Amino acid sequence: MARENTKRQADEVQSSRQQSSSEQPETQSTFQAIKTARIPWTRRIGFIFAAMGPGIIAASAGNDAGGISTYSVDGAQYGYRTLWMIFIMTFSLVVVQEMAARMGTVSGKGFAALIREKFGVKATMFAMATLLISNAATSVAEFAGVAAAFELFGVSRYISVPIAALTVWLLVTRSSFKYAEKVFLVLSSIFITYIIATFLAKPDWAAVFHGTFVPQFVPKINFVLLVVATVGTTIAPWMQFFVQSNIVDKGVTVKDLLYQKIDVIAGAISANIVAWFIIVATGATLYKNGIVIDSAKAAALALEPVAGKYATILFAIGLAGASLLAACVLPLTAAYAVTEAFGWERGIDRSFSEAPAFNLIFTSVIIAGAVIILIPNAPLITIMVMSQAVNGVLLPILMIFQIKIVNDKRIMGKYTNGKVTNALAWATTVIIIGLTAVLLVGTLLQKLGVIKG
């Protein structure tokens, strides 16, 4: 009986989502009521902030331990020469995230459910298997980030990682959706530490803005691979799933689409601003002094002699916050995507008995990520490279799925892509396919010793 009631309620919600935005249902959405009531702009801004969540959280979580390491190496090895990539990729990230938000609000379904609906079970199973493998492997990197950050403060990974894993698990399985979302947003705000660290580094701002708006290229294979890695860490495959699933979980309707667009656009811009500042901070200090690094932890340690201990502390705090946020979001995304794809019960507000598959997947990914970090001499580099390779295969496929779905009038009605959005989306997809091919082939040739950096 409970399941029948749930299905009936879902059908009612879906029916209401398909109504034309010009119609006036008896019960208006919060944001529709704001517009009709002519509430002052100061209060409207407050309601916009209330809508913030999925877009900002997803984009911020994209700046995870691996992302911070990539941006740090960008700045340390090549100064400001990769800043232009961040500027350009901001537009691509906005397009991808906006399409995900629009698909969620209009259809009332998650990305995985729409993939199954349009492309069938086989395509869905492939996408879910690769996403699950990728997210599990990337979660290892997040707990590695937790370990590295707390080791900078003298805390052993055998203490920090189990506590972090338990905290993440309790947050999602023992709290409500609204509470968890607030915690995620607080963790997202920790990225301001990188902005402060950058000003402590005292960069040459004229050179910074030249690097941002004037593309520069270094004819070396390592530079090409680093550029590809920068693009890959800016747009991650799991982001579309997380944004869309959370929008559906919040019960957002098409009338609130404008506010969700503001959320995802603000998230994409703010996340890339943080990435930009990380490159500037390491470029102004490590590159200037010829200091070579290979990780975010090494960057934090190297900052102290050239930018002061406070820069190191801020960098370490940012790494800890970023790793914890991603350690929450990645397992959660895997759980949402797989359960959506196969029509199983799901949601942060659901208990183990109500949504066993959802909670089991979430728990398993956390345990796998945390346990591997605690194994002495664990092959972390191999695991991270594997996750990168899987992401490289999955992302272009998901982009094609997304563009096909968002242009399906049966699903999206009048909310399909316009010509400009389609052009940007396809251009992004083609570029990602090309860069992924370069990354995979270049990495393989380097491993075989055929080419050198």
13 Cβ partners below 8 Å, 6+ apart?
108, 251
CA distance 255 to 332: 27
163 Cβ partners below 8 Å, 6+ apart?
none
pLDDT class of 46 with cuts at 50, 70, 90 = very low
Q: Domain ranges in the chain?
A: 50-447
Q: Which of 245, 201, 263 is nearest to 344 (CA)?
A: 245
Over 70: is that where the pLDDT of 338 sits? Answer: yes
What average pLDDT score do residues 199-213 get?
91
pLDDT class of 423 with cuts at 50, 70, 90 = very high
What average pLDDT score do residues 198-207 get?
89
CA distances from 254 to 115, 193, 415, 444 (A): 20, 36, 9, 46
Q: Which of 56, 237, 246 is nearest to 132 (CA)?
A: 237
Q: Determine contact, residues 115/258, Cβ cutoff 8 Å.
A: no
Q: Determine contact, residues 79/292, Cβ cutoff 8 Å.
A: no
Q: Which of 105, 115, 10, 89 is nearest to 55 (CA)?
A: 105
- Architecture of the domain delimited by 50-447: Up-down Bundle (1.20)
CA atoms within 13 A on the CB side of 69: 21
What average pLDDT score do residues 70-85 get?
89
| Percent of the chain surpassing pLDDT 70 | 79
Q: Determine contact, residues 242/33, Cβ cutoff 8 Å.
A: no
Over 50: is that where the pLDDT of 45 sits? Answer: no
Q: Which of 222, 281, 333 is nearest to 71 (CA)?
A: 281
69 Cβ partners below 8 Å, 6+ apart?
294, 295, 296, 299
C-alpha 309 chain-centroid distance: 29
pLDDT tens figures, 2-28? 444 444 444 444 444 444 333 433 334
What average pLDDT score do residues 389-398 get?
74
Over 90: is that where the pLDDT of 452 sits? Answer: no
pLDDT tens figures, 105-155? 888 888 888 999 898 888 888 888 888 887 887 888 888 888 888 888 888
Element (H, E) at 246: helix 238-249
The beta strands (E) that lie in 261-316 are given as none
What average pLDDT score do residues 246-273 get?
82
pLDDT tens figures, 301-332? 777 665 667 777 887 888 888 888 888 888 88
CA atoms within 13 A on the CB side of 410: 5
What average pLDDT score do residues 396-403 get?
88
Q: Which of 41, 150, 70, 129 is nearest to 341 (CA)?
A: 129
| DSSP one-letter string for 54-90 | HHHHHHHHHS-HHHHHHHHHHHHHHTTTTHHHHHHHH
pLDDT class of 49 with cuts at 50, 70, 90 = very low
